[in-house]
Amino acid sequence: MLTREGSLTTTPPSSKPPTSRSFSTSSILRQTPTPTTRMAPPMGPFALISDTLRRQGIKGLWLGQTGTLLRETGGSAAWFGAYETSTRFFIRHYNYKSKSDLAAWQLMSSGALAGVSYNVILFPADSIKSNMQTFAELNPGVKQSSFVGTGKEIFRTRGFRGLYAGCGLTCLRSGPSSAMIFFLFQRLEQNFGYIFGLDGSEINGDRSEKVE
């Protein structure tokens, strides 16, 4: 999408000031010169794969893999770690026996904490990955900087705020979604675990033997 929009050429804006000002988006669009060319329809997934292989080779399909690997490994550790730490805190604080005793708000707050932790812990890696992918699309043929080099450039020009740009909105999305994920998982496992031969003690981590 970025390369398609960037390839359009527009007529130069008029030097005459507009006769009226408006804060309406529609008014602004009506005063904007229309493009001289039309955008081609977007390519489908198979065409994109073929185009990537043609322009960048097999390495193009793994562009940004380092950032994704760091985000998924470290982020997943933070995701499960924060959830387990939070649920165990509630179990100790309220003298519960297992996770099955936790209230809905306790499970969901633990899940929300997990979602926020997942993104905050290694969000810079995702920012660097996205920057590398965007640069490759907007600058075809230009040598791609390394993962470390791209990170240094972002930090040099925008500091830590650049590395965490968009983190707040991402956490606002991941917090509620992870809250629902862990809540539903725990309740489904609790109520339907018997299908897989699990009982309440096995589901909630109690490995003690049952007396038949």
Q: Which of 64, 72, 66 is nearest to 136 (CA)?
A: 64
pTM for this structure? 0.70
Residues 80-117 as b/e (b if ≥16 CB within 10 A, e otherwise) read eebbeebbeebbeeeebeebbebeeebbbbbbbbbbbb
Q: Specify the amino acid at residue 57.
A: G
Cα angle for residues 110, 116, 135 (degrees, 5° grid): 155
Q: Which of 83, 209, 55 is nearest to 140 (CA)?
A: 55
SS3 7: coil
Q: Specify the amino acid at residue 172.
A: L
In angstroms, the CA 46 to CA 50 distance is 6
- pLDDT value at residue 7: 56
pLDDT in tens, the chain (212 residues): 666 665 554 444 444 444 444 433 333 344 444 555 566 778 889 998 998 899 888 988 998 899 999 999 999 999 999 999 999 999 999 999 999 899 999 999 999 999 999 999 999 999 999 999 888 878 877 888 899 999 999 999 999 999 999 999 999 999 999 999 999 999 999 888 888 776 554 445 444 443 33
Token reading at 135: 């640069």
Q: Specify the amino acid at residue 61.
A: L
